[in-house]
Amino acid sequence: MSSILLVTSSPRGDESLSNKIATDFVNKLVAQHPGSSVTHRDLGLSPISHLDTVTTSAIRKPAEARTSEEAAAADYSDKLVAELLAADTVVLATGLINFNIYSTLKSWIDNVARAGVTFRYTPEGPVGLATGKKVYIVLSSGGIYSEGPAAGMNHATPYLKTVLGFLGMTDIEVIYVEGTAFGPEAAEKAIAGAQERTQQLALAA
Ligand SMILES: Cc1cc2nc3c(=O)[nH]c(=O)nc-3n(C[C@H](O)[C@H](O)[C@H](O)COP(=O)(O)O)c2cc1C
């Protein structure tokens, strides 16, 4: 039994490959571990705003010093953090968008990366506080980046591994759904490959 947080970020709904593979994967995990709880944060359907003056100010202030507008912004960020901290399994889904992640997933990260809450500074350097989690990243892309000449243009995987690691999440698997722009056959092959991989990962979970 586990507590799963699924964060999808594509605005493309049923057309989205990262949504599909990640959602199917979570269903496989639940089938493997009946009774698991799933929280789905659908950023495509309900995007998170970019950081603004209110949020950046709110999260740096003690609660008693916040205006009502700042308190609402801090509550929202707190809710996202609580969802993350409550999970032992995190599934993040994104397309490769201009060589990085969907911007609303970036906004989610900007809300959950909180000094004193999900990481803290120590004399020895920063320490991540969101520990003890298994993280799966589902990354769909038109091109192929897991290997080959374009690998260095994939900024999503290194970025996510860096920021998640900074927050204490270092046990990370990446599931690629890639090469989907190379025609329907290539897309079918990419989807079948990702489904097979997630089946194996679910069995091993
Ligand atoms: C605005 C935009 C930018 C994209 N940029 C890239 C890119 O840099 N590299 C790539 O291989 N595919 C790129 N694609 C294709 C997407 O990665 C691909 O369609 C992926 O499946 C999108 O994820 P989704 O299906 O979950 O929405 C882009 C698509 C869009 C709409």
For 39, counting Cβ atoms within 10 Å of its Cβ (0-12 exposed, 13-18 middle, 19+ buried), the class is middle
- Distance (Å) from CA 142 to ligand 1 centroid: 6
pLDDT in tens, 120-139: 999 999 999 999 999 999 99
CATH number, domain containing residue 129: 3.40.50.360
What is the per-residue pLDDT for 173? 98
User: What would the two tokens of residue 204 be?
Assistant: 């091993």
| Residue 49 scores a pLDDT above 90 | no
In short, whether 17's Cβ falls inside 6 Å of ligand 1 is yes
Count of domains in the chain? 1
Whether the full predicted model's pTM is greater than 0.85, yes or no, is yes
What is the per-residue pLDDT for 85? 98
In short, whether 95's Cβ falls inside 6 Å of ligand 1 is yes
Q: Is 168 left (phi over 0), alpha (psi -120 to 50) or beta?
A: left
- Distance (Å) from CA 183 to ligand 1 centroid: 14
Distance CA 175, CA 128 (A): 24
- Distance (Å) from CA 104 to ligand 1 centroid: 14
Residue-range definition of the domain harbouring residue 178: 3-204
